[in-house]
Amino acid sequence: MFLYFNVITLYNMNRKIERRKYTTITIPTKLFDKLSEKIKDTGFSSVSDYVTYILREILVEMDSPDDKKDEIIEKLRKLGYI
């Protein structure tokens, strides 16, 4: 019985940890419908997977250094616009 209790306890602890990995975000139904159409015939299994991918891509772009901005400014400077 003790072993059974420990297994159940571990199972419940793991379930609590898994639950903390995700949260719910609400989006308009029309947007959800458009996203559902967009992911047809792609590798995404759900709108949630697709939105997660998009948000990660946006975060990567936002966190990347402003090298591109600096490159554009330098090109404009060389062209005499700045």
What is 11-56 written as a DSSP string? HHHHHHHHHTT-------HHHHHHHHHHTTTSS-SSHHHHHHHHHH
Q: Is residue 64 part of a domain?
A: yes
Q: Is residue 69 part of a domain?
A: yes
Q: Is residue 17 part of a domain?
A: no
Q: Convert the pLDDT of each residue in 25-71 to its tens digit.
A: 899 999 999 999 999 999 999 999 999 999 998 888 777 766 677 77
- Pair 60, 66: CB distance under 8 Å: no
Q: Is residue 45 part of a domain?
A: yes
pLDDT, residue 27, reads 92
Domain enclosing residue 46, as ranges: 25-82
Say what angle helices 47-63 and 29-38 make with each other, to 10 degrees: 90
pLDDT, residue 11, reads 56
Q: Is residue 11 part of a domain?
A: no
- Return the higher-pLDDT residue of 79 and 30: 30
pLDDT, residue 59, reads 85
How many domains is the chain built from?
A: 1
